[in-house]
Structure 1
Amino acid sequence: MSTPETDPRTYLVTGAASGIGRATTDYLRAQGHTVIGADLKGTDISADLATPDGRTQLVDRAHELTGGRLDAVIASAGLGQFLPLTVQVNYFGVVATLEGLRPLLAAGTHPRAVLISSVASVYPADQAIVEASLAGDEESAVAAAQAAMDRGEGYAIYGASKQAIARWLRRTAVSGDWAAAGIPLNAVAPGTTVTPMTAPMLADADTRKAVDAAVPMPLNGHARPEQVAPLLAWLTSPENTHVTGQVIFLDGGADAVIRGDEIW
């Protein structure tokens, strides 16, 4: 018997060409759902989310391919480079994706959305990047990221972008456009996940040791993308009726190790 929990749904997944986005696309399609993938190339929609034109292109093509309605959006596109480009994709690209596709979700059935944050968001971050991002000032955020690079602190850019998007999520999820409109909006914050983005770091023994020291994962170690997909699928399913505004750590216990019992 068909139920809202099992009826086929229409998803849009960014970052669908590789990593968590690809694994989630495969997982959802195997369940019988329609998935529109977006990435730089090799997917249904080719768009560069680091640019305003690419963000507009994503939304316009989504309208064309869906007839103006979506049931769920999974914003998985992201970068881990120590460059200003990382802020443009991880924060401004994600915000533009979710804000631009929200009207399509409002026209959908049991609409849901989720984005990818990171356990890196719990570490102290470059607040100039974070605050400029939250203010919607992309030019200043990029300048702050460049300044971090110039100081030899480019490593701080990724964590700042993920902290900013997590804070945006907390502010936005309970707003009239989302919670009051019946659209749960959440984030999943993975620990170290074996993807094309992390593979070079994990392949080097010294770098891998540093990564594991920064992100200790006592439960089962590094994750694989296909282990993240089921949580993303549940958060964007009709079964999720009340979880919203949450950053859910899928990190093998890293957050609990790093921050202890003062955060719950």
Structure 2
Amino acid sequence: MARNIVVTGAGSGIGAMCAQLVEDRGDTAIGLDLKNAEFEVDLSDRSAVDDVVRQVEEQYGQVDGVIANAGTQTNTPLDLKVNFFGARNTVHAFRRLLAQSENGRVAITASAASLQPTDPHLVKLLLDDQESEALEYGQSLADQGQMAGYANYSASKRAIATWVRRVAPTEEFAGAGIGINAVGPGVVATPMTTQLLSTQEGRDMAFGAMPAPYNGAQRPEDIADVLVFLVSGLNRSMTGQVIYVDGGFDAIGRGEDLWHAPKSMDQVDSR
């Protein structure tokens, strides 16, 4: 049975590729973006998100999946508004319709930047839903320059990836039959990075911060393939996962041991 999949950020880049792949599979892509999409909406505006959900329901009735891909990298509080609050609010707004689907699925575009050093206070403000305080603090970081301001981006991606893992096993999602996962791209060759990757100096900067020994910069379709799989009926059990599609950066940054030293059997309480 064909599925209706909402794709945010569908006007360009990874989002446009997701919409194309959804349609290629025989499903229906419902595009949301500031421009060049079926529904033009500012996803940083919560009331606008609620309005567009009503419009989508009126036109399509059923929503089976949401790819919350829209994002910014400005190193300002706009990143917090779109990447964290916008993505989270979009998922919450569509949750009622997703719960009515036989296979409700959500996939969020996080980032390998979620693995980079960031500002833990800002991450906590986001996860504690302290929006005005987070935006004020993020502006204070941006006022210090691009290096400090980058925490707006990395914290937004750390927080949304953490939120996915936090809510995935809850009654609100797992209990309602909604699977939710995230994808963490590394350096992606998109119009936004064309200039950066066009020079050796730019490539050295990009891959110095985020090495990608396996095939270098990812293409939009490399990320879209995984996002579209996650909201398909083929994904029957995965939830709460953050899948890094990053050319190897995760393995370099976190090393081979994700699980810490295993306890020996005599250290396990058998009661």
Pair in the same fold by TM > 0.5:
yes
Cα shift at 1:204: 4.0
Cα shift at 1:151: 2.4
1:83 corresponds to: 76
In structure 2, which of residues 35, 38, 45 is the aligned counterpart of residue 44 of structure 1? 38
In structure 1, which of residues 199, 208, 220 is the aligned counterpart of residue 215 of structure 2? 220
Deviations 1:158-185 (A, max 9, x none): 1110000011111111110111111110
In structure 2, which of residues 189, 192, 196 is the aligned counterpart of residue 197 of structure 1? 192
Q: Following the alignment from structure 2 to structure 1, what is the Cα–Cα distance between the partners of residues 87 and 7? A: 11
Q: Following the alignment from structure 1 to structure 2, what is the Cα–Cα distance between the partners of residues 90 and 221? A: 24
1:24 corresponds to: 18
In structure 2, which of residues 143, 148, 168 is the aligned counterpart of residue 173 of structure 1? 168
Matched position secondary structure for 2:184: strand
Q: Which moved more, 1:202-211 or 1:46-55?
A: 202-211
Once the two structures are superposed, the pairs formed by residues 136-215 of structure 1 within 5 Å of their partners are 136-152=129-145, 153-215=148-210
Q: Following the alignment from structure 2 to structure 1, what is the Cα–Cα distance between the partners of residues 183 and 95? A: 19
State how many pairs are aligned: 257
Q: Following the alignment from structure 1 to structure 2, what is the Cα–Cα distance between the partners of residues 27 and 112? A: 16
Instruction: Report the residue type matching 2:191 in the other structure.
Output: P
Q: Following the alignment from structure 1 to structure 2, what is the Cα–Cα distance between the partners of residues 19 and 221? A: 18
Q: Following the alignment from structure 1 to structure 2, what is the Cα–Cα distance between the partners of residues 167 and 148? A: 21
Aligned-residue CA RMSD in angstroms? 1.3
In structure 2, which of residues 28, 33, 45 is the aligned counterpart of residue 34 of structure 1? 28
Give TM-score scaled by structure 2 length.
0.91
Q: Following the alignment from structure 2 to structure 1, what is the Cα–Cα distance between the partners of residues 102 and 58? A: 18
Matched position secondary structure for 1:62: helix
In structure 1, which of residues 235, 251, 260 is the aligned counterpart of residue 230 of structure 2? 235
**Max Rg structure:** 2
Q: Following the alignment from structure 2 to structure 1, what is the Cα–Cα distance between the partners of residues 157 and 2? A: 31
1:3 corresponds to: none
Give TM-score scaled by structure 1 length.
0.93
In structure 1, which of residues 63, 67, 77 is the aligned counterpart of residue 57 of structure 2? 63
In structure 1, which of residues 12, 15, 19 is the aligned counterpart of residue 6 of structure 2? 12
Deviations 1:16-71 (A, max 9, x none): 0011110010011011111100000111111101222322233222222222x211
Q: Following the alignment from structure 1 to structure 2, what is the Cα–Cα distance between the partners of residues 56 and 10? A: 18
In structure 2, which of residues 50, 54, 65 is the aligned counterpart of residue 72 of structure 1? 65
Segments of 5+ residues of structure 2 without an aligned counterpart are 260-271
Instruction: Report the residue type matching 1:168 in the other structure.
Output: W
Instruction: Report the residue type matching 2:144 in the other structure.
Output: R
Deviations 1:86-132 (A, max 9, x none): 11000000000000001011112311111011000011211222111
Matched position secondary structure for 2:178: coil
